[in-house]
Structure 1
């Protein structure tokens, strides 16, 4: 596979996991209220606002986890604790943790 095809596949995978897979999570686990849950899961992508404090704002070779303050290990611990609540807090926790997993796989499983 040539580098441009690999970059395209990486980009597709990243955005699939950020935009499409949350809909699957919502449909499977919250079928009755999936639209609301999907919107909450999408809203958790606002966690990427911490990228605005980095220089440069976007670096494709930078690991987000542990670098940005809302992607820190302390923040991830708080996101994990949200799983022990009910309702929207749990959904937010799921969304934030899934976001961290997506960012992690984006860096670890793809060549830079």
Structure 2
């Protein structure tokens, strides 16, 4: 038995800026920071571009393909949380969060 690092991934959507109970879109545990950031990038890239203003499309793609992705990956490797959010044209705000956590690994020994 042992503890290994894992990365808790959540995607939520806030209805507005005062939303204290966002809708859960997706949740999973991932093994590496790279997989977590890849999942954020994939979800950002599959959003319908008409749901975003041109400025938000540019910001989202700049994060997914550039410095934001690199900074988030570095934070996770340091054991710090990382995240990103955008604002849709209708005021909703999707948010991606990744939190480093310990995972309990059970080892089964065979005689």
Please identify which structure carries the higher strand content.
2
TM-score normalized by structure 1?
Answer: 0.33
Please identify which structure carries the higher helix content.
1
Q: Which has the higher contact order (CA 8 A, sep 6+)?
A: 2
TM-score normalized by structure 2?
Answer: 0.33
Q: Which of 1 and 2 has greater Rg? A: 2
